[in-house]
Amino acid sequence: MKSLTALRGLGTDELLGLVDGAMRMRSSLDQAEPVEPVLLDRCVANLFFEPSTRTRLSFDLAAKRLGAEVITFNPGTSSTTKGESLRDTVLTVSAIGADIMVVRHNLEGVPTAAAEWTGKPVVNAGDGTNEHPTQALLDAVTLKRHFGEVTGLTIGIVGDVAHSRVANSLIHLLPSLGADLVVAGPEEWLPSTDLVEKSTSLETLLPDLDVVYLLRVQTERGGVITEDYVNDFRLDERRASMLRDRAIVMHPGPMNRGVEIDDAVADSPRAKMNEQVRNGVPTRMAVFAALEGSLQ
């Protein structure tokens, strides 16, 4: 694997290799086993043109745990504010000495373009509404660690699916791993693809789900929070009580409490958001190792 710009296009074996590699990486970290420093003498550049907390910090730590030096580009204090083009900025970071670039941008396709411009490996940390591959991979790790298997799970992705790059990556990954996937939300937020089952009623769906995967309304990408949406789709305590005992709740973060989820659910034992975040570092370590051709 030269770059990781999308999960679409990767086969089941390759996807499973990444998920299982990330599972092993997580076990090594948990047991404080030494991890092969496959990024020694490498420089990883984080180029986040959009805000980020968990994704940027976990890429940062993942690279450092593998021995890399990390440089971080901050658009607010960089020459982008002086009118430098995106291509020139990316080429500058490459010329400074970045060996691997982690790119987040609000335009679809920027990570792929960065790989073409520089000829260097790029990891997509979220491009517009397109994909967020490492988020989906860490979610698969979370599911596999919790349930033992992804195969046979019924998973509902709920909310602003149409504008969600996380949902796009999950829609490719989860069925490849054998899950039954349903997306639910207001009609106008459901994707046009026929490759996934769709529902406009959360409450009829809840009793069938093993996993409710909630999404933030992407207001920066055209999503509008309406009273109807909150009334019909917010996961509150009453709705959560319609779930099976074994069902869990996931969310890529950042959560908007009171919009897609209530405190009582977000802080309940069903909520696995902290596990998702924990799996972010080993998953990104596995992706870096795969780029270096040394994923165990």
Burial of 31 (0-12, 13-18, 19+ CB in 10 A): exposed
Q: Per CB under 6 A, does 54 bind ligand NCD? A: yes
Q: Per CB under 6 A, does 216 bind ligand NCD? A: yes
Q: Per CB under 6 A, does 165 bind ligand NCD? A: yes
Q: Which is nearer to ligand NCD, 56 or 270 (CB)?
A: 56
Closest CA to 250 of 277, 224, 229: 277
> How far is Cα 101 from Cα 93, in angstroms, rounded to an integer?
9
Among 21, 111, 121, 126, binds ligand NCD (CB under 6 A): 126
The least CB distance from residue 54 to ligand NCD, in Å, is: 5
Q: Per CB under 6 A, does 42 bind ligand NCD? A: no
DSSP string, 179-248: -EEEEES-GGGS-S-SSSEEES-HHHHGGG-SEEEE----GGGT----HHHHHHH-B-HHHHTTS-TT-E
166-195 positions binding ligand NCD, by CB under 6 A: 166
> How far is Cα 174 from Cα 179, in angstroms, rounded to an integer?
5
The least CB distance from residue 122 to ligand NCD, in Å, is: 17
From residue 72, alpha-carbon distances to 46, 54, 107 in Å are 5, 15, 20
Q: Which is nearer to ligand NCD, 180 or 275 (CB)?
A: 275
The least CB distance from residue 274 to ligand NCD, in Å, is: 13
Q: Which is nearer to ligand NCD, 26 or 284 (CB)?
A: 284
Residue 51 near residue 216, CB atoms below 8 Å = no
Residue 214 near residue 235, CB atoms below 8 Å = yes
Nearest residue to ligand NCD, by Cβ distance, number only: 216
Q: Which is nearer to ligand NCD, 99 or 275 (CB)?
A: 275
The least CB distance from residue 95 to ligand NCD, in Å, is: 28
Q: Per CB under 6 A, does 135 bind ligand NCD? A: yes
The least CB distance from residue 31 to ligand NCD, in Å, is: 26
Q: Which is nearer to ligand NCD, 25 or 215 (CB)?
A: 215
235-274 positions binding ligand NCD, by CB under 6 A: 252-253
Q: Per CB under 6 A, does 132 bind ligand NCD? A: yes
43-48, strands of its sheet edge to edge: 69-73, 43-48, 100-105, 122-127
> How far is Cα 280 from Cα 101, in angstroms, rounded to an integer?
17
In degrees and rounded to multiples of 5, residue 289 shows phi and psi of -60, -40
The least CB distance from residue 88 to ligand NCD, in Å, is: 25
Q: Which is nearer to ligand NCD, 111 or 252 (CB)?
A: 252
Match 């002086």 to its residue by tokens: 82
Which residues here bind ligand NCD, judged by CB under 6 A?
54-55, 126, 132, 135, 165-166, 216, 252-253
